[in-house]
Each structure stands twice: as C-alpha cells, then as structure tokens.
Amino acid sequence: MSEDIKKGLLGIVVDETEVSKVMPEINSLTYRGYAAQDLCEYCKFEEVAYLILNKDLPNTIQLKKFEKEERGNRDLSKELYSAIKQMPKKSHPMDVARTAVSIMGLEDKETTDSSPEANMRKAIRILAKTPTALAAFYRLRKSKKIIKPKKNLNIAENFFYMCFGKVPQKEIVKAFDVSLILYAEHSFNVSTFTARTITSSLSDIHGAITGAIASLKGPLHGGANEEVMHMMNKIKSPNNALKWINNALDKKEVVMGFGHRVYKSGDSRVPTMREYFGKVAKIKKDKKFEKIYDIVEKVMIERKNIYPIWGKPMLYWAIKAAKESEHITDVWVTTEDEEIKSIAIECGAKVHERDPKLSEDHVYKMAAIREATSFIERNYYKPEIVVSLQANSPEMTAQVLDNAIESFIINDRNELISVDKGLMMNAAFRIMKNWYVYQRELSTKTGAFICDVEDVHTIEDVKRIEKRTTRN
C-alpha cells in the first residue's frame, strides 16, 4: 500500500487565517482585504501594522495612540544592550533578532499573561524594540557607538537614524517603508505555521516569535532575498551578468528571485518593489544592480518561458492552445527544469524529462523533439503526427493550430513550418509526420503556413503584446 507523501505541507490544510490572503489566480496579495500594492501607495508601515493587529486601518486618533505607544517602547534595557555587545560580530542579523526577542521575553513583566489585551501590548513592544536591537548590532559590528532611538521619527526613519546617524531622502525612506509593508504578512507561510504550532501548546508570544524568526531565516523563506543579494554581488558588474546567468542555467543551478511556490503567474509584490528599486537607483546615481537585474530577467524570460503574460506563465498559453485543438489528442512538455515541470502538470500537460544536454545553446532543437517522440513511442503510443510548439509564442490559438494541421493533411505534407507575413520562419510551430521526425534532411514536401504571431524575448515584448491583445 503506497502512501501519498506531501513535502513541505504542500496541499495540507493545517489552520485558517483572516490576516492576509494570497490569490494566485488574480496575482494579488491582500491584508485584511486591502490589496498590498494599494497599502504601499497610500499608507505608511505603522498604519499597516495597526491594520494587521486590529483588523482595520486606523483613524487619525487611533494612529496617534498606536504610534505613541510604539515610540515609547523603542529603547532597550541595559541588560539587552549588554547582551548584544557580547554577540560575535559575524552573527547573522536574523540570529540577533531571534536572540533579542527571546531576551525580551525574559524581561517582559507580562510574559506569562496570554490574554488578548496583554498579547497586543507585548506585540507592540516587540515591534518597537526589535529594530533598535538590530540597529545596535549593526553599529557594534562596524565598531561604532550605539545610537539610541528617537521618538519624533517613524519606524522607517528611525531605523535609518539608528544605523547611520541621519535620515536619508524621503524617496529612500519611502522605498524602505514599502519594503516593510510588502514583507509584513504573507498568509499561512512557514514562519506563521511555526508560531501557530508553538502557541498551540499555550506557550508565550515571545517564544512563538522567536521560533518564527528562526524559520524565517532559511533561504527557502525569508532568507531568499538575502540570497538574491549574494547573487548580485557574485555577478558584480552588468558586463558579467549575461555570462553568469547563462552559465547558471546551463548547470541547472537555482536562480533566486525568480519563481514562487504560491505565485504561479509571478509574485504580485514584484512590480511595486521593482518601481522603488528603480527610484532608489536613480537617486543614488548607481544603476549597476538595476542593469544586472534587467539582464538576468531578460535571459530568464528567453530560456524558461515562465514569465507571466495576461496573468499566466507564457508556457500556459502554448499548452492551452494545444489542449483546445480539435486535432491534437495529447500534450507533452519536454524539459529538465523543475519549475517548468510543475507549471506543465498544473496546466494539464504530460511531462517528458529530457536530457539536460539537449537544452544547451549549440544543440539543434530537433534533437529534443526526436528524444521526446522516441520516449513516447517506447512507453505509450506511436503518434501519427507530431506538432512542436514554441512556448514563447503566447498569441498562438487552437484555431490557428487546427487550420495549420488541416492544411498539412489536405496538402499531404511531410512537414509544415510557420512563417510570418514576410515569409520568414518564426518557429511558432512545426508539424511533421511521425517518420519525418527522424529524418536528417529537408523534404521536397515541406510547406509553409503564415502564422503572424510575435515571439516574446523581453519585458517590452510582453507589455506590447498585452497592450494590443487581450486573452482570458
């Protein structure tokens, strides 16, 4: 008897949350019903923190009271400052935060009181003190004197002040504030699950948050953005970016910052962060990392076909066209990429796991088609006709495919290739008789079919196609 083992709690319902909701079907994230991108645009982090804790946005009086309480609890005890001073300078900031919150639990007079009212007060104190602890450690690691918090600054401004002794331009503060908002909540993720598990034993809030921080540190959760930073530092220069990303993909290495377990059509937080990323780069007059990002993103679009268009990965539209065709009976995706496999299966396609060597740039595309066809014949059935679709032609439709297949049959072709209106081959599709897949020479019975769809290679291509065409 075989058991269906779910990895990482995938598909397992452990509890429910009202705080936030990830809606991959519309590529959105909400906090208490408010879209996160709208909160970034119109609110500051303190308002969002209040929203998460109190189920609605504050009015003016409520916000002032909340800010007064938070600002009045920012400073740390002498004992906690002393503990931070003793921490090794090479300590990870997340380890510092974890340890600091744990010590706060030792010091808090309400630690054992788990009433809703006491937990709310403790939550605000943890919110207030944690940035102070991190800033203090940052200063000590740089062999600089600790800067105490100020009460006349908001959370974002105060953190800059405690770290650097001054508050930067308002645009940079806003970018940091936006980052705090976008990282504030993400439904029932690993750290939330950890905290819930700890509190289920009636443990205290400090213990729960300490455990949550420990789980948040991992590179498959909160630590993913840190891995992106390390990746950027490895690349060093825009001049190195193209070679680096192609080499990483050739070696089947994980490229951090692209793809999300929950968002199958792109992380809804990315457009907002990308906007402020650009604003900061412009203000700082340093576009090195922005240029690196653009190059890496372009290659990921070209080589993985998972970039979203019309709210779905490009691959989705190729599979959709094939599945809706009247003449195509089975849809296969040949790939060695785990993320592409996952998307293909979710879209209802079958997957052939190909030899990674067939993805290399110098390899002729037909080699991959031959391997996949041979695999299907050996293990399943012998297809009469093989239709090869290019995943980065999202404008392809079932009607176009059916028209092309009917032309192929009526005219008794061995092969039919797609061309644009200028009669230039665009590789949107290739239709072949089964036996012809294995031929090494062109046939005199090869035909052309006008299929004027645009290949997607860049973000600009995506925007242009989305502007002129609507798909659902």
Domain ranges (residues) in the chain: 13-222, 225-304, 309-468
pLDDT the model gives residue 222: 62
157-204 pLDDT, tens digit per residue, is 999 999 999 999 999 999 999 999 988 876 667 777 888 888 888 889
Q: Quote the CA–CA distance of 34 and 30 in Å, as a whole number.
A: 5
Measured in whole angstroms, the distance separating CA 75 from the mean position of its chain's CA atoms is: 35
Where is pLDDT greater, at 442 or 170? 170
Q: Quote the CA–CA distance of 33 and 51 in Å, as a whole number.
A: 10
Average pLDDT over residues 140-166: 96
pLDDT the model gives residue 314: 85
Share of the chain above pLDDT 70, in %: 86
431 backbone φψ class: left, alpha, beta (φ>0; ψ -120 to 50): beta
What are the angstrom distances between the C-alpha of 245 and each of 147, 258, 287, 307?
A: 41, 12, 18, 16
The per-residue pLDDT of the chain, averaged, comes to 85
pLDDT the model gives residue 2: 43
Q: What angle do CA 315, 318, 322 make, to 5 degrees?
A: 140
Phi, psi of 398, deg, nearest 5? -65, -35
The CATH H-level (homologous superfamily) assignment of domain 309-468 is Spore Coat Polysaccharide Biosynthesis Protein SpsA; Chain A (3.90.550.10)
- The CATH T-level fold of domain 13-222 is Citrate Synthase; domain 1 (1.10.580)
380-436 pLDDT, tens digit per residue, is 999 999 999 988 888 999 999 999 999 999 999 999 999 888 777 777 899 999 999
25-83 pLDDT, tens digit per residue, is 555 678 888 888 889 889 999 999 999 999 999 999 999 999 999 999 999 999 999 99
Highest mean pLDDT among 264-268, 278-282, 357-361: 278-282
Average pLDDT over residues 354-371: 76
Q: Quote the CA–CA distance of 4 and 10 in Å, as a whole number.
A: 11
> Would you say the CATH fold of 309-468 matches that of 225-304?
no
pLDDT the model gives residue 351: 93
Q: Quote the CA–CA distance of 31 and 36 in Å, as a whole number.
A: 6
Residues whose CB falls within 8 Å of the CB of residue 166, separated by 6 or more in sequence, listed in order: 160
pLDDT the model gives residue 116: 92
N residues, the chain: 472
Count of Cβ atoms closer than 10 Å to residue 277 Cβ: 17
Global pTM reads 0.66
218-227 pLDDT, tens digit per residue, is 766 666 677 7
Count of Cβ atoms closer than 10 Å to residue 436 Cβ: 16
Q: Quote the CA–CA distance of 256 and 204 in Å, as a whole number.
A: 34
pLDDT the model gives residue 216: 84
Instruction: Outline where DSSP puts E strands in 396-450.
Output: 415-419, 425-433, 446-450
Query: Between 3.10.310.30, 3.30.70.1350, 1.10.230.10, 3.20.20.30, what CATH number should domain 225-304 receive?
Result: 1.10.230.10
195-211 pLDDT, tens digit per residue, is 888 888 888 999 999 99
The lowest-confidence range among 228-237, 254-263, 292-301, 361-370 is: 254-263
